[in-house]
Structure 1
Amino acid sequence: MQFNQLMIDEFELLAKFPRSSKMQGIKIHSDANENLINAAQRLFDKGIIDSPDGGYLTDLGLDLIEHVSVLHSALSC
């Protein structure tokens, strides 16, 4: 198993979502980094976020953010 740059971009975007509340989302502005914009579109296409420019995490996204948090925590040691 290997992570490619597209996956890493998606991980990084997921990590930007607030974890303190399911009612908070993010907005990706049109002048944002192209990798961030493309990652948001891919996450939307996969059903992980509810809008191609960020929005809120779907149920799948909420599950994944927990895994991203665990990975980040484990690899930060």
Structure 2
Amino acid sequence: MPFSADHLAELNLLGQFSSTSSQEGIKVHAHSAAPETVKAAEGLFAKGLISQKDGGYLTPLGAEAVDLTQKLQAILQDH
């Protein structure tokens, strides 16, 4: 199953969260962020990965998703 554009936007947004600190969140400003980023934040919130519809902090499941996303990026990177 290929990644959809929405999945890729969510993965890219997850990549912006710190994997080393649960105290660092992000804010997606609806008036200045790209529409796909706003939609990605809403999707991650609906899936229980972030604490707020417009960003916030990672939930425990979100922290696991960031870890897996980083592992996937490492695997796919050219050597």
Please, what TM-score do these two structures have when normalized by structure 1? 0.95
Q: Which residue of 2 aligns with 1:17?
A: 17
Instruction: Output the amino acid matched with 1:25.
Output: G
Q: Which residue of 2 aligns with 1:62?
A: 63
Instruction: For residue 20 of structure 1, report the CA deviation from its aligned partner.
Output: 2.0
What are the superposed Cα offsets for residues 5-39 of structure 1, whole Å, 9 maximum, x if unpaired? 11000000000001121111101112100000000
Q: Which residue of 1 aligns with 2:76?
A: 75
User: How many residues are matched?
Assistant: 77
Instruction: In structure 2, list runs of 5 or more residues that go unmatched.
Output: none
Between the two proteins, what is the percent identity of the paired residues? Answer: 38
> RMSD in angstroms over aligned alpha carbons?
0.8
Q: Secondary structure at the match of 1:16?
A: coil
Instruction: Output the amino acid matched with 1:43.
Output: L
- 2:42 and 2:58 map into 1 onto residues whose CA distance is 13
Q: Which residue of 1 aligns with 2:29?
A: 29
1:47 aligns with 2:55: no
Please, what TM-score do these two structures have when normalized by structure 2? 0.93
Q: Runs of 4+ in structure 1 displaced over 4 angstroms?
A: none
